[in-house]
Chains A and B, each alone.
Chain A
């Protein structure tokens, strides 16, 4: 994998993106990526102070790619999404969808770009079907076509029997699912999801993730997603952007990000030879933590075999062994400055 845009971009998807940055890349990105963001900046100014919420952010979204936007609270994730929807005006920078300038072709572009969030709602005195009727019409879908689109989606998200119910009677999780129906009924080319599973039970969240993957696989939908669920992001996303203080500080594959800050941890429950195990760890210069009979050794994957051989040579007896791979959560905690 090669770098794209100097962020260490790596894509699981098409190989034609694996191009070194050169003078042609801007043109290439602008017209081949479904979304190209360049030097996006948002500064909030008050009387005496100014706050940079998004600071010179540039990235691309490829066709059929699922891109995760991660970062601690206040990092600029939701602000970035708002800028990408034009519900917030940028201070500077450019946004191109499908090669077209978003600021010039906003309405046309938004026919193919939809948004769903846990943090917005729908008119609560209207019924589910009334809401979907209104939003369907805003995208030019109505009548039988709308019904044929929404019924399978409502069924998929367990809301078909709620069609005549007012939104006010739905639970928070059901409203979130309704927002997803509203988004995907349009059959969009790009979906911007802001914390789509935040209020969902784990089984429903899993179902939503499965659905998102299906949409990508069957329709080639590109998805930009923000989430605090690191497991979910790892499973879903082809690539992750990590934002901190409004800046992109990392742009890479989820597992590569995880490995970039943390090594494996091997946990052994020792029956005989705790001191000998400590000696081996010291000898191999591997940090460890001892808790009664359980020892946790931090090491690289390539060192596992060497460690086990040394333990066997010293007749260390253990009853259980567990190898814990670094996760995106480790990366997240490291980046926000908390101890892993």
Chain B
């Protein structure tokens, strides 16, 4: 089992290390950090006493974690569509849960790389050390990774059943959750109906908790536990959804997806 998980991890890492993929992995986060960072610096100059710039930049880096976690799952699936490799893979002894584990492992490794790169870039450009809060940021990052995975498997479940015509979900789905997750602004600014949705999402508790920590230096376990509970629930549900949709797809034939 471990050999097959490792094989798939290698399959995606070989692909990742190709110049086009490797540069893209760093290009978009770098552009985001530069654009939003400069915007934050400008806001900071308007109101020097606030922590607004730090809140926006930290939100940005943490949003990258969620988006990257989601995108790794959906993009790995798309790679198999585009390479006409899905039938090849699933005509080997590979089991579906091994493929899922390999994606989670791959996602974890890439998120660590992404996080380190983003933090270093922010430090170089804006002298902001996101680690200055200590290692307390780690649970937040881990929770966002779980949220990214649940969103990723949700999108992948639809893609594995309906094929390449739904491939834009790979990019879109995570952003569907962004307005309700209070990434850059507090939940209170959302309309009431949107706040109800926001409090059903594990991401909201992470961004709210993180902002509270940045602005008030007060750490609370409550948002972390709320987020963890919802993440476990949603991730379990989305993986189940993916497995059900995979079986539904197998009923129609995997070869039609290529």
Contact = CB atoms under 8 A, between A and B. Distances in A.
B83 A138 contact: no
A122 B83 contact: yes
A287 B9 CA distance: 67
A139 B92 contact: yes
A133 B8 CA distance: 10
Interface in A46-82: 78-79, 82
Contacts, number: 103
Given A107-B93, A137-B7, A123 B254 contact: no
Nearest to A167: B83
Given A89-B250, A110-B91, A122-B83, A142 B15 contact: no
A115 interface: yes
B250 to A, nearest CB: 5
Chain B at the A interface: SS class: helix
A221 B251 CA distance: 29
Interface in B134-183: none
B10 interface: yes
Given A111-B93, A135-B92, A82 B253 contact: yes
B160 to A, nearest CB: 12
A166 B99 CA distance: 24
A140 B91 CA distance: 15
Contacts of B7: 134-138
A169 interface: no
Sorting the interface of chain A by its residue count into under 10, 10 to 19, 20 to 34 or 35 or more gives: 35 or more
Nearest to B83: A123
B247 A120 contact: no
A88 interface: yes
Contacts of A138: 3-4, 7-8, 89, 92-94
Nearest to B254: A87
Contact of A125 (B6, B15, B92, B254): B15
Contact of B94 (A79, A107, A123): A107
A28 interface: no
B93 A123 contact: no
A110 B87 CA distance: 13
A22 interface: no
A121 interface: yes
Given A82-B253, A122-B85, A123-B85, A89 B247 contact: yes
A126 B253 contact: no
Contacts of B250: 86-89
A201 interface: no
Interface string B7-24: 110110011001011000
Contacts of B254: 82, 87-88
A-B pairs with lowest CB-CB distance, top 4: A137-B7, A88-B253, A85-B91, A121-B84
Given A88-B254, A138-B4, 6 more contacts: A87-B250, A89-B247, A107-B94, A123-B79, A125-B21, A134-B7
21 contacts: A79-B253, A85-B90, A86-B91, A87-B87, A87-B254, A88-B254, A107-B95, A110-B92, A114-B91, A115-B88, A115-B91, A120-B84, A120-B258, A123-B83, A123-B85, A126-B14, A130-B14, A134-B8, A137-B7, A138-B4, A138-B94
